[in-house]
Amino acid sequence: MQTNKTNEKFGYFDDANYEYVITTPYTPTPWINYLGNDGFYGLISNTAGGYCFDRDPKFRRLTRYRYNSVPLDNGGRYFYIRDENDFWSATGRPVNTELDEYSCRHGMGYSRFNASKNGIATQVTSFIPLDTKAEVHSLQVTNNNDTSKTVDVFSFIEWCLWNAEDDGANFQRNLSTGEVEVAGSTIYHKTEYRERRNHYAFYSVNRELDGYDTNRESFLGQYRGFDRPQVVENGKSTNSFARGWSPIASQHLKLKLAPGETQSLEFVLGYIEVETDEKWESKNVINKTPANEMAARFDTHDKVKAELAKLNAYWHNLLNKFSVNTPDDKFNRAINIWNQYQNMVTFNLSRSASFYESGIGRGMGFRDSNQDTIGFAHMVPDKVKERILDLSATQKPDGSAYHQYQPLTKKGNANIGGNFNDDPMWMVLSTTNYIKETGDFSILDEMVIYDDQEVATHDHFDHLVRAFNHVVNNLGPHGLPLIGRADWNDCLNLNCFSENPNESYQTTQRGASDVAESVMIAGQFVLYGQEFVDLCKQLGKDELAASCLAHVDTMRSTIEQHAWDGQWYLRAYDSRGEKVGSHENEEGKIFIESQGFCAMAGVGIDDGKVKQALDSVEKHLSTDYGIMLNQPAFSSYNKYLGEITSYPPGYKENAGIFCHNNPWITISEAMIGRGEKAYEYYSKITPAYLQEVQSLHKTEPYVYSQMVAGNDSANPGEAKNSWLTGTAAWNYYAATQYILGIRPVYQGLEIDPCILPSWDKVSIKREFRGAQYDIELRNPNGLSKGTIQLNIDGQAVKGSVIDASTYSGKHTIIATLQ
Ligand code: GLC
Ligand code: GLC
């Protein structure tokens, strides 16, 4: 692996350390990282901005963050460093003092900030240790001067009053409720603990304090920002005690440093839950024992280092279940490090909390979360199983599903409801993909409630049957699936007709909803319906397989009959039965989603429709920065189409490059053997390839963004909504299962690549159902696709599948493309 420093303005990859190194605090947008693996999470920017929460970023937020603030990225874990004549931020901001050195290394589950000024060097390492509900911030201060120095360190965090929505809105109440305690070097945040909460937070440091502040205005001074706190300027804490207003935690530590000396301070920002009868130590004094026990786990630098090493080992192990070495370093970097990492973050957070998702809006999406699992089933199969079953439990008896559920309660979100008719079939994808990865059919036997039940009466397989039947039972006039509120494209709202700016496109439905049909769902039904048929066959349910196959076949011919527009697939029929996505339309003549799904399903593959549809995608939708969602963009609002026409041309679902659906085309190209096209589409949206356009792109250069502005926009190529996007899972799936072609099937691991002809040799390490395969893919004739000749441990083997029932332990495989 290599480190590439050329041409980069804001940073570079350090692959050997699995890090991205940011070299300025002033990136085009805050470039964030995620801390935490299991229920307790933090978002942390390249200047330590962000916040942390326990499970639910709306209801259990520990620290306060100001979204879309001025200046950007306000609120975080700050360390103010003050020497005799100057002060600065150990994390680059919020103090704007120019540093002699600055870097932020975002790694796997940790971020490390290095700064220096006036010969004083600092390093902050921030992470959430495994199995711990706390952020640890380890600060080291080194005196590189020839003389002794006294350095004042002031820590700072601001408490959020738990319910983040209320915290930002209900000031008549919450400016009066804030409560803290201070004991030793720890500041405890206990707002609302006196009433119905049995949880509190604390901020501790492993050294005696020279002072503290818990009241924000006392620390900052009147009308000052985070960049110039009065206390830091004065060099002295005020020992303020918050009663209401805005409680904070700031510790003052005076360090005397000999020349060359380094001192370490270990800060712990922890979350504690206590049993109701153990809440108090004495009247109105909280039970601090669990907090003190937690802090004690990190009270020396060695202990903290050991915890960080455990975290590193955890990630190393996860990421190494699948690794690849192609002649293309960027491809390797994406597959081996950042794409897998982003997949895990989308697993943890779905679409709930990012720099763009405020953490108070969405819960876990049914559609999104099912799709996300295809990006990490190989890393955390047990968690995938649990996730799929959680999703299954929010399904309704008629096979439809709640569109979202809340992670704290795992209950369907009634405010949003259901009727997004693509939802059910995504569970067929997640479940079959899980079984193919693990060989574990037992997931189908798990008893799972339907949303209205107390006790489960049916197994997960029954949920899949009902998902399948939901499509069959909801067909429109042409025999295509009814769209409901929307399909995958949340903004194609064919039954909404909204004229009121204060209503939601997604939850408003006026149409009778028995006319508007989706070709995307039709293609999805053929693809995952066929998957379901195959699953039934695996289970020996031949009758069910046959009856389902009949529905799938009918849908196939319905699409060919009613949804082929001549050169591509239609997108939909609207509530008036009019075509959407046809050459007959003036705007929105062609859409990507139906091309992707009908092509992946192979509808009309034999008579050239798939190839023609893909050629039309290239001709009408492809740009330098990826494939646009539709063309021409909608230039005015059309209430019969809904939110899609509400966006200015070139943005979001209105002709933006909505990266999530690009891999559907990549996969389709790979399926028909066009390796160069597949690679081109893959690489156009993959961040590892976009280092030269960082200022245009704006978002983090190590993760996918949801949307890149399209050709109709003012600034094609500009990205938004980084991190929490289905693009991560889908592009990983496209690259590993269709470009590299390492594809789990029920029998084992199939090898069916579609690569660049110039890749003469690719090595792959893959853990699969308890075995470790060292695969060497050879391409002596410069092909993209072909027949695979398998040789396992020196023995020629027929076919292209490594049969999982035959192998365990380590094996060497040579797969030759011919
Ligand atoms: C957002 C949503 C996703 C939807 C997509 C297209 O990414 O999270 O559910 O499919 O937009 O509208
Ligand atoms: C808006 C966005 C869409 C997203 C939805 C989520 O409609 O355009 O991308 O899926 O909001 O609520």
Does the pLDDT at position 5 exceed 80?
Answer: no
Left (φ > 0), alpha (ψ -120 to 50) or beta: where does 787 sit? beta
Q: Distances in Å between the alpha carbon of 657 and those of 352, 572, 622, 632, 686?
A: 22, 20, 9, 13, 13
pLDDT mean over 617-636: 98
Ligand 1 centroid to residue 565 C-alpha, Å: 26
| Other beta carbons within 10 Å of 583 | 13
pTM over 0.95: yes
SS3 672: coil
Q: Distances in Å between the alpha carbon of 268 and those of 125, 135, 574?
A: 12, 6, 56
The mean of the pLDDT values for the chain is 96
| Other beta carbons within 10 Å of 681 | 28
Say if ligand 1 is within 6 A of residue 346 CB.
no
Say if ligand 2 is within 6 A of residue 351 CB.
no
Which atom of ligand 1 lies nearest, measured to the CA of 490?
Answer: 12
- pLDDT digits over 149-196, tens only? 999 999 999 999 999 999 999 999 999 999 999 999 999 999 999 999
Say if ligand 1 is within 6 A of residue 423 CB.
no
Q: Distances in Å between the alpha carbon of 492 and those of 407, 517, 633, 637, 815?
A: 27, 11, 13, 12, 44
SS3 682: helix
Which secondary-structure segment (H or E) carries 545? helix 542-562
Least confident range of 134-148, 352-366, 571-585: 352-366
Does the pLDDT at position 756 exceed 50?
Answer: yes
pLDDT band of 2, cuts 50, 70, 90? very low
Please state the φ and ψ torsions of residue 314, each to the nearest 5 degrees: -60, -50
Say if ligand 2 is within 6 A of residue 643 CB.
yes
Least confident range of 290-299, 337-346, 691-700, 773-782: 691-700
- Please answer whether residues 158 and 63 qualify as being in contact, where contact means their C-beta atoms are separated by less than 8 angstroms: yes
What pLDDT does 625 receive?
A: 97
- Please answer whether residues 744 and 438 qualify as being in contact, where contact means their C-beta atoms are separated by less than 8 angstroms: no
Q: What are the tokens at 804?
A: 């999982």
pLDDT band of 413, cuts 50, 70, 90? confident
- pLDDT digits over 633-682, tens only? 999 999 999 999 999 999 999 999 999 999 999 999 999 999 999 999 99
Percentage of the chain lying above the pLDDT 90 cut:
94
What pLDDT does 229 receive?
A: 98
Least confident range of 136-140, 259-263, 402-406, 419-423: 402-406
- pLDDT digits over 512-522, tens only? 789 999 999 99
With CA atoms as reference, report the closest residue to 532 among 436, 395, 425: 425
Please state the φ and ψ torsions of residue 715, each to the nearest 5 degrees: -145, 70
Say if ligand 2 is within 6 A of residue 416 CB.
no
pLDDT mean over 374-392: 97
pLDDT band of 416, cuts 50, 70, 90? confident
Site to probe by mutation for ligand 2, drawn from 490, 496, 629 as the one with most ligand atoms within 8 Å of Cβ, is: 490
What pLDDT does 8 receive?
A: 59
SS3 123: strand
Which atom of ligand 2 lies nearest, measured to the CA of 706?
Answer: 9
Judging by beta carbons within 10 Å of its beta carbon (0-12, 13-18, 19+), is residue 512 exposed, middle or buried? exposed
Please state the φ and ψ torsions of residue 156, each to the nearest 5 degrees: -160, 130
Q: Following DSSP, what letter does each residue of 712-725 receive, concatenated?
A: TSSSTT-EEEESSS
Question: What angle (nearest 5°) sits at the alpha carbon of residue 553, between those of residues 737 and 427?
Answer: 45
Ligand 2 centroid to residue 183 C-alpha, Å: 46
Going by C-beta distance under 8 Å and a sequence separation of 6 or more, which residues neighbour residue 283?
none
Say if ligand 1 is within 6 A of residue 351 CB.
yes
pLDDT mean over 532-537: 98
Which atom of ligand 1 lies nearest, measured to the CA of 488?
Answer: 10
Question: Ligand 2: which residue has its CA nearest to atom 3?
Answer: 490
Ligand 2 centroid to residue 6 C-alpha, Å: 37
The Cα 286–Cα 784 span in angstroms is: 66
Does the pLDDT at position 6 exceed 80?
Answer: no
| Other beta carbons within 10 Å of 550 | 11
Does the pLDDT at position 536 exceed 60?
Answer: yes
Q: Which of 213, 451, 490, 712 is catalytic?
A: 490
pLDDT band of 1, cuts 50, 70, 90? very low
Among all bound ligands, the one having the nearest atom to the CA of 729 is 1
Cα 539 to chain center, whole Å?
Answer: 33
- pLDDT digits over 571-612, tens only? 999 999 999 999 999 999 999 999 999 999 999 999 999 999
Site to probe by mutation for ligand 1, drawn from 488, 662, 721 as the one with most ligand atoms within 8 Å of Cβ, is: 488
The Cα 786–Cα 589 span in angstroms is: 35
What pLDDT does 512 receive?
A: 72
The Cα 556–Cα 247 span in angstroms is: 61
- Please answer whether residues 705 and 686 qualify as being in contact, where contact means their C-beta atoms are separated by less than 8 angstroms: no
- pLDDT digits over 451-502, tens only? 989 999 999 999 999 999 999 999 999 999 999 999 999 999 999 999 999 9
pLDDT band of 362, cuts 50, 70, 90? confident
- pLDDT digits over 728-744, tens only? 999 999 999 999 999 99
**List of long-range contacts for 313-317, beta carbons under 8 Å, 24+ apart:** 314/37, 314/109, 314/130, 315/18, 315/108, 315/109, 315/341, 316/18, 316/108
The Cα 209–Cα 218 span in angstroms is: 17
Say if ligand 1 is within 6 A of residue 488 CB.
yes
pLDDT mean over 240-249: 98
490 a catalytic residue? yes
Q: What are the tokens at 526?
A: 């053929």
pLDDT mean over 521-549: 98
- pLDDT digits over 315-356, tens only? 999 999 999 999 999 999 999 999 999 999 999 998 989 999
Please state the φ and ψ torsions of residue 86, each to the nearest 5 degrees: -155, 155
- Exposure b/e, 160-198, CB count within 10 A at least 16 = b: bbbbbebbbeeeeebeebbbbbbeebbbbbbbbbeeeee
What pLDDT does 171 receive?
A: 97
- Please answer whether residues 132 and 139 qualify as being in contact, where contact means their C-beta atoms are separated by less than 8 angstroms: no
Site to probe by mutation for ligand 2, drawn from 358, 506, 647 as the one with most ligand atoms within 8 Å of Cβ, is: 506
pLDDT band of 420, cuts 50, 70, 90? very high
Going by C-beta distance under 8 Å and a sequence separation of 6 or more, which residues neighbour residue 289?
none
What pLDDT does 410 receive?
A: 87
What pLDDT does 142 receive?
A: 98
Say if ligand 2 is within 6 A of residue 357 CB.
no
Among all bound ligands, the one having the nearest atom to the CA of 651 is 2
Site to probe by mutation for ligand 1, drawn from 490, 647, 652, 708 as the one with most ligand atoms within 8 Å of Cβ, is: 490
Among all bound ligands, the one having the nearest atom to the CA of 505 is 2
What pLDDT does 354 receive?
A: 95
CA end-to-end distance (rounded Å), the chain: 29
Question: Ligand 2: which residue has its CA nearest to atom 6?
Answer: 490
Ligand 2 centroid to residue 490 C-alpha, Å: 6
Q: Distances in Å between the alpha carbon of 360 and those of 71, 162, 173, 258, 344?
A: 21, 11, 19, 48, 21
Q: Following DSSP, what letter does each residue of 395-449 receive, concatenated?
A: B-TTS-B-SEEETTTTEE-TTT---BTTHHHHHHHHHHHHHHHH--GGGGGSEE-
Q: What are the tokens at 677?
A: 């096209």
Q: What is the DSSP letter of 339?
A: H
